[in-house]
Amino acid sequence: MAVSTGTPSPAKPVRRARGEGQWALGHREPLNPNERSKKDDIGLNVRARIETIYAKGGFASIDPADLRGRFRWWGLYTQRKPGIDGGRTAVLEPHELDDEYFMLRVRVDGGQLDLRQLRAIANVSIKYGRDTADLTDRQNVQYHWIRVEDMPAIWEEIEGVGLSTTEACGDTPRVVLGSPVAGISTDEVLDGTPAIREIVDRFIGDPTLANLPRKFKSVVSWLPDVPYEANDISFLGVVHPEHGPGFDLWVGGGLSTNPMLAQRLGAWIPLDEIADVWVGVCKLFRDYGYRRLRSRARLKFLVADWGVEKFRSVLEQEFLGRALLDGPAPELPDRPIDHMGVHEQRDGLFYVGATPVVGRVTGTALAKLADIVEAHGSDRVRLTPHQKLLVLDVPADRVDSLVVALREIGLEANPSPIRRSTMACTGIEYCKLAIVETKAKAAEVVAHIEATGLVAPISVNVNGCPNACARTQIADIGLKGQLVPGPDGEMVEGYQIHLGGGLALAQGQQPGFGRKVRGLKTTALELPAYVERLTREYLAGRKDAD
Ligand code: SF4
């Protein structure tokens, strides 16, 4: 017990709460270098400088603050200098890692492409990107080896067909994911595409929404065939017993470090109100999102701290000015859907889903794809959030020929389970944050398991660092790149292993993150054999259970 000395203690200095950097609470002063850079100049403004100064002056003329910050607002990241091993990723200065070339991301909202757009994407790859064109797990296309000098011509070509790189990266509203079968599926009640278009038309490139605390990832989809639980905001199809078809609102999902699943707000949103609700949530994030620490700046931290009731109440009162209608939870299908193979559309035509190996294609292959699609009577292709693509509107009598033609350009409509369910991020080949290689290693795993003849529905997600761009935590085998002790004790490329993760994409599935098993790691060299061992154990276990 404290004993009074009889003399008054000196007054304690009043400690002001530091807050989390929320604008709505008056914390306007930038609290870290990223916030300072955004306050100095909005990222969207860099476009004019690229066109008028940097494209003429070349790489050396680029202001470093633009190069490593604002360029992202137009989909541009410097790419990793070749030959720098993963052990030096964390110790080198950014400029030592920078190559003079860029990764460029083209946003394909809803994953929807017509043939003109597909051909433009292919042309840019061939002309300016050394034939690179990765299909990402966010329905984007990603080039490498892009020079700043070529950006004006690239924008002319891309924007000329209605595509864009606007806010493809940066602290902005990123590409809006949509069901790859929107508008054609027999299981869909209401197509969310009009809402995706409205969001893009009204808000992408809006300067008042271009300085968010971090990236803001969105989904609008009737079907749960996109990873809706891993996004900042998702609208998922549901039929309201009184009001009919509409969308169920989810917020606060995100993987990377501190992964969290999105939570339902319990609100039912009609199709024509999605864009208004979307911008309400976006503004709430802008104003209340945490800006002090980048590691806590995603919307998920705010949702976790507030809880869904407070979040919904602030959204309704401060940003929408009205109450939202309560609504039921969506029903999930019997099985998860990835759309591979041949399926009938609701108009009697067919769509064909096909996959490259871990999303890697070339501009040349995409140009051939466009010719093949046209020759089979179609004008439409869709990208999926699983690094795959679909050809729509194929007449029944052209399907077999299409499947063969796709195979000839490396797109397989009847893939082995391992090819079907393996994804990989960009990795050390181009990514400055990477610690290990990913795409080639994942392709090696696919080839190895195919050679064994093992057939098991096991998903493998290979990531080059803890950022989890290829969703480490929600695969059966999630791999997080890091250096691990090799056989001789020296540090070599390897992976921390997470086991048993998954989203709720079908009835009966319990969403959850793979367990990071302490000490469970493999070297990159041993990875194919490791996946084989796990696959055999899984198959033996399943046999025992039968
Ligand atoms: Fe780069 Fe890491 Fe993302 Fe892979 S997970 S693309 S290595 S940041």
Q: How far is the CA of 76 from the centre of ligand 1 (A)?
A: 15
Query: How far is it, in rounded angstroms, from Cα 194 to Cα 275?
Result: 9
Residue with tokens 């086991």: 499
Structure tokens at 102: 């860029």
Please name the residues in contact with 452: beta carbons below 8 A apart, sequence gap of 6 or more.
532, 535
CB 463 near ligand 1, within 6 Å: yes
State residue 109's pLDDT score: 98
* Torsions phi, psi for 535 (to 5 deg): -65, -45
DSSP 386: T
Element (H, E) at 214: none
CB 176 near ligand 1, within 6 Å: no
DSSP 409: T
State residue 15's pLDDT score: 46
Q: How wide is the angle at C-alpha 26 spanned by C-alphas 22 and 32, nearest 5°?
A: 50
Q: How far is the CA of 122 from the centre of ligand 1 (A)?
A: 24
DSSP 215: -
Best probe residue, ligand 1, of 467, 472, 482 (max atoms within 8 Å of C-beta): 467
Question: Which of ligand 1's atoms lies nearest the C-alpha of 481?
Answer: 7
CB 97 near ligand 1, within 6 Å: no
Query: How far is it, in rounded angstroms, from Cα 113 to Cα 371?
Result: 14
Q: How far is the CA of 176 from the centre of ligand 1 (A)?
A: 20
Give the amino acid at 83. G
- Are 211 and 41 a contacting pair, CB within 8 Å? no
Q: How far is the CA of 422 from the centre of ligand 1 (A)?
A: 16
State residue 542's pLDDT score: 73
Q: Where are the alpha helices (DSSP H) in 22-173?
A: 33-40, 46-49, 55-57, 64-67, 94-97, 115-128, 151-159
CB 436 near ligand 1, within 6 Å: no
State residue 201's pLDDT score: 98
Question: Which of ligand 1's atoms lies nearest the C-alpha of 465?
Answer: 2
Element (H, E) at 237: strand 233-240
Sheet of strand 244-251, all strands in order from the earlier edge strand to the far edge: 173-178, 216-221, 233-240, 244-251, 263-269, 325-326
CB 425 near ligand 1, within 6 Å: yes
Ligand 1 atom 3, closest CA:
469
Residue with tokens 């001789």: 488
Please name the residues in contact with 289: beta carbons below 8 A apart, sequence gap of 6 or more.
22, 212, 213, 214, 297, 298, 299, 302
In Å, the largest CA–CA distance within the chain is 98
Best probe residue, ligand 1, of 78, 134, 438, 463 (max atoms within 8 Å of C-beta): 463
Global pTM? Answer: 0.92
CB 356 near ligand 1, within 6 Å: no
Query: How far is it, in rounded angstroms, from Cα 189 to Cα 352?
Result: 21
State residue 2's pLDDT score: 34
CB 103 near ligand 1, within 6 Å: no
CB 467 near ligand 1, within 6 Å: yes
- Are 383 and 108 a contacting pair, CB within 8 Å? yes
CB 469 near ligand 1, within 6 Å: yes
State residue 17's pLDDT score: 52
- Print burial letters for 338-372: b (CB count within 10 Å at least 16), e (below 16): bbbebbebeeebbbbbbbbbbbbbbbebbbbbbeb
Q: How far is the CA of 428 from the centre of ligand 1 (A)?
A: 8
- Are 251 and 319 a contacting pair, CB within 8 Å? no
CB 464 near ligand 1, within 6 Å: yes
CB 233 near ligand 1, within 6 Å: no
Give pLDDT tens digits along the chain (546 positions): 333 333 444 455 444 456 899 999 998 887 799 999 999 999 999 999 999 999 999 999 999 999 999 999 999 999 999 989 888 888 888 888 989 999 999 999 999 999 999 999 999 999 999 999 999 999 999 999 999 999 999 999 999 999 999 999 999 999 999 999 999 999 999 999 999 999 999 999 999 999 999 999 999 999 999 999 999 999 999 999 999 999 999 999 998 878 899 999 999 999 999 999 999 999 999 999 999 999 999 999 999 999 999 999 999 999 999 999 999 999 887 677 889 999 999 999 999 999 999 999 999 999 999 999 999 999 999 999 999 999 999 999 999 999 999 999 999 999 999 999 999 999 999 999 999 999 999 999 999 999 999 999 889 999 999 888 888 878 889 999 999 999 898 999 999 998 876 655 555 666 666 666 666 899 999 999 999 999 999 888 876 665
Predicted ipTM of the assembly: 0.99
Question: Which of ligand 1's atoms lies nearest the C-alpha of 468?
Answer: 5
Q: How far is the CA of 166 from the centre of ligand 1 (A)?
A: 21
State residue 93's pLDDT score: 87
Q: How far is the CA of 462 from the centre of ligand 1 (A)?
A: 10
Query: How far is it, in rounded angstroms, from Cα 216 to Cα 180?
Result: 20
Q: How far is the CA of 438 from the centre of ligand 1 (A)?
A: 9
Q: How far is the CA of 327 from the centre of ligand 1 (A)?
A: 37
CB 427 near ligand 1, within 6 Å: yes
Q: How far is the CA of 465 from the centre of ligand 1 (A)?
A: 5
CB 433 near ligand 1, within 6 Å: yes
Residue with tokens 């690179």: 132
